[in-house]
Amino acid sequence: MDLSVIIPLYNERESLPELYSWIESSLKDFSHELIFVDDGSTDGSWEVVKEMAAQAGHDVRGIRFRRNYGKSAALYEGFAAAQGDIVVTMDADLQDSPEEIPEMVRMIREEGYDLVSGWKQHRQDNALTKNLPSKLYNWTARKVTGIRLHDMNCGLKAYRKEVVKNIEVYGEMHRYIPYLAKNAGFGNIGEKPVHHQKRKYGVSKFGMDRFVHGLLDLMSLWFLSRFGGKPMHFFGASGILMFLVGFVMTVWIIVAKLVHQAQGLKFRAVTDQPLFYLALMAVVLGVMLFLAGFIGEMISRSATGRNDYQVKEKL
């Protein structure tokens, strides 16, 4: 099979029939499957998916969550179910154009990319609440990850099958799939400008809080990629440095007091000096950080139940 198209959805009943027709007309030259992942919709979206599956047969598959888990969970299940040589992800809100997919597939096949990410050059969103924060977010992501993408969070992406089978998407890490792919050894990442349309039905499911969460997730992912397998390198080094600073300060205070006392000069008791307590705090924190490094080495950063989702139905 040439393609697997994964479509996470949450309350997109009105968009689904039109999206299905649009995808089918755009991919008529490819053998493909569509995998709709219903992330706990409450508007009857699942009934629409079942109707499309009944009409199309094995070319349309569906996965339904018992409740809303988020886009990362939907992509995780979709990646696990995908069978095509190339896997495409796109949103269900009709803002992504499936007409861009054939060119993205060509870039992977002929130009050797592991992953091709869409770039919404001309976003059809509110400039104040979406465009400007998105530019700041993407600038920060480029600096931290070293991946030169203009739109890392674009929902329209194409991957070699090997990529999605070797990365783990959890929490809200769907925003950083290119970074996950890079960390997994798939560093040939391309970008394609894509057409972006205004939302036709419903409202956006993401608010301004996604940018705060996105920044925190980026920091977490950067830390895990750098120190996840070697926490002692971070906590141990930080602990040793802080311990040495506190120790040196303590020794200096005591020596200064003894020198002044031996010379008959006026001096203050060690415990009367605020610097002593700062030094003591630095020593204690240094020991705690060092111990945290040991504990971190003993704990697996991959919890066994992190992707234990309750799948209600599968087609």
> Could you tell me which residues come within 8 angstroms of residue 124 by beta carbon, excluding any fewer than 6 positions away?
95, 196, 197, 198, 199
Q: What angle do CA 182, 187, 193 make, to 5 degrees?
A: 100
- Output the pLDDT for position 308: 61
When pLDDT is cut at 50, 70 and 90, the band that residue 208 belongs to is low
Q: Do 199 and 240 share a domain, yes or no? A: no
Q: Do 84 and 11 share a domain, yes or no? A: yes
- For residues 169 and 177, the answer to whether their CB atoms sit within 8 Å is yes
For residue 310, being part of any structural domain is answered with: no
Token code pair at residue 206: 């993401």
For the chain, how many structural domains are there in total? 2
Q: Give the residue-averaged pLDDT of 100-107.
A: 96
Closest CA to 98 of 10, 28, 178: 28
Q: Do 11 and 61 share a domain, yes or no? A: yes
Distances (CA, A) of 305 to 40, 170, 310: 20, 11, 11
Q: Do 235 and 210 share a domain, yes or no? A: no
- Output the pLDDT for position 301: 56
Tokens 């009409």 appear where? 55
- Output the pLDDT for position 98: 94
For residue 81, being part of any structural domain is answered with: yes
Token code pair at residue 207: 């608010």
**Maximum CA pair distance of the chain?**
98
- Output the pLDDT for position 130: 61
Strand-strand pairing, 32-38 and 3-9:
parallel
For residue 152, being part of any structural domain is answered with: yes
Which structural domain, as residue segments, surrounds residue 77? 3-227
Residue 62, pLDDT > 90, answer: yes
Average pLDDT, the chain: 86
Residue 113, pLDDT > 70, answer: yes
Which burial class, exposed, middle or buried, applies to 58 when counting CB atoms under 10 A from its CB (0-12, 13-18, 19+)? exposed
Query: Of 227, 243, 278, which residue constitutes the final position of a domain?
Result: 227
For residue 314, being part of any structural domain is answered with: no
4-55: per-residue pLDDT in tens? Answer: 999 999 999 999 999 999 999 999 999 999 999 999 999 999 999 999 999 8
Q: How many CA atoms lie within 13 A of 233 on its CB side?
A: 8
- Output the pLDDT for position 264: 79
For residue 305, being part of any structural domain is answered with: no
Q: Give the residue-averaged pLDDT of 243-248.
A: 93
Residue 127, pLDDT > 60, answer: no
**What amino acid occupies position 39?**
D
Give CA–CA dist 164/89, Å, rounded.
11
What CATH code is carried by the domain that includes residue 22? 3.90.550.10
Centroid of chain to Cα 9: 18
If residue 16 lies in a helix (H) or strand (E), which one and from where to where?
A: helix 16-26
Q: Do 152 and 54 share a domain, yes or no? A: yes
Residue 124, pLDDT > 80, answer: no
Give CA–CA dist 68/80, Å, rounded.
18
Give CA–CA dist 41/315, Å, rounded.
16
For residue 275, being part of any structural domain is answered with: yes
Q: Do 145 and 267 share a domain, yes or no? A: no
Residue 286, pLDDT > 60, answer: yes
Query: Of 227, 245, 260, which residue constitutes the final position of a domain?
Result: 227
- For residues 12 and 44, the answer to whether their CB atoms sit within 8 Å is no
- Output the pLDDT for position 39: 95
Tokens 């970074």 appear where? 179
For residue 303, being part of any structural domain is answered with: no
Q: Do 126 and 219 share a domain, yes or no? A: yes
Give CA–CA dist 274/279, Å, rounded.
9
- For residues 241 and 283, the answer to whether their CB atoms sit within 8 Å is no
Q: Do 12 and 59 share a domain, yes or no? A: yes
If residue 251 lies in a helix (H) or strand (E), which one and from where to where?
A: helix 237-262
Cβ atoms within 10 Å of 268's Cβ, excluding its own: 12
Residue 251, pLDDT > 80, answer: yes
> Could you tell me which residues come within 8 angstroms of residue 212 by beta carbon, excluding any fewer than 6 positions away?
none
Q: Do 218 and 269 share a domain, yes or no? A: no
When pLDDT is cut at 50, 70 and 90, the band that residue 199 belongs to is confident
Give CA–CA dist 281/294, Å, rounded.
20
When pLDDT is cut at 50, 70 and 90, the band that residue 125 belongs to is low
For residue 75, being part of any structural domain is answered with: yes
Q: Do 237 and 222 share a domain, yes or no? A: no
Query: Of 227, 256, 273, which residue constitutes the final position of a domain?
Result: 227
Region class of 115: left (phi > 0), else alpha (psi between -120 and 50), else beta: beta
Q: Do 43 and 55 share a domain, yes or no? A: yes
Q: Do 30 and 125 share a domain, yes or no? A: yes
